Amino acid sequence: MKLLLFYAHSFSYETAAKSLSTVPEVKKKESVADAAVVFFHVEAEDVEKRNKVVQKFVKNVKWLCGKFATKNVVLHSFNHLSGSKADPDFSLELLDEVAKRLARTDFQVMVTPFGYFNEFRIHVAGDSLAKVFKEF
């Protein structure tokens, strides 16, 4: 698992084009302020350690949110952080589980459409902890 985490003053996206032919057609545009924006990459080896990966994923998101006193989270599948790639179905299941766990603990979770390239704008804070890379 690779995570690229940002604390953003603002984030917005709009769907641009499908990256997976199997996903439904979606035309969507959303924005959020004061959010932890997480670009994540699910690797093939994450299948074997699913529970641990989910726990660490959630823990890292909550940690960054705590540093900036926010409950807003954006989860964006970004399959460009590693050469190792998990099956898209597994990646989507993992994404759904992480989003549900965060939502159960009062986080407001925005998930960009899975299997899409998106146009996005991100205004990242200047603090050193506003830009963090994690791998596990």
Query: Does residue 36 sit within a domain?
Result: no
pTM of the model: 0.96
**pLDDT value of position 87:** 97
Query: Does residue 42 sit within a domain?
Result: no
Residues 11-43 pLDDT 10s: 999 999 999 999 999 999 999 999 999 999 999
**Residue carrying structure tokens 């969507």:** 28
Note whether 46 and 94 are within 8 A (CB): yes
**CATH for 93:** 3.50.80.10
Query: Does residue 58 sit within a domain?
Result: yes
Query: Does residue 115 sit within a domain?
Result: yes
Among 107, 112, 104, smallest CA distance to 40 is for 112
Residue-number span of the structural domain to which 65 is assigned: 2-27+50-125
What the block records as the tokens of 126 is 């200047």
Q: Which helix (H) or strand (E) holds 19?
A: none
How many domains is the chain built from?
1
The total of other beta-carbon atoms located within 10 Å of residue 21's CB is 6
- The pLDDT-based confidence of 72 (bands split at 50, 70, 90) is very high
- The pLDDT-based confidence of 133 (bands split at 50, 70, 90) is very high
Residues 98-120 pLDDT 10s: 999 999 999 999 999 999 999 99
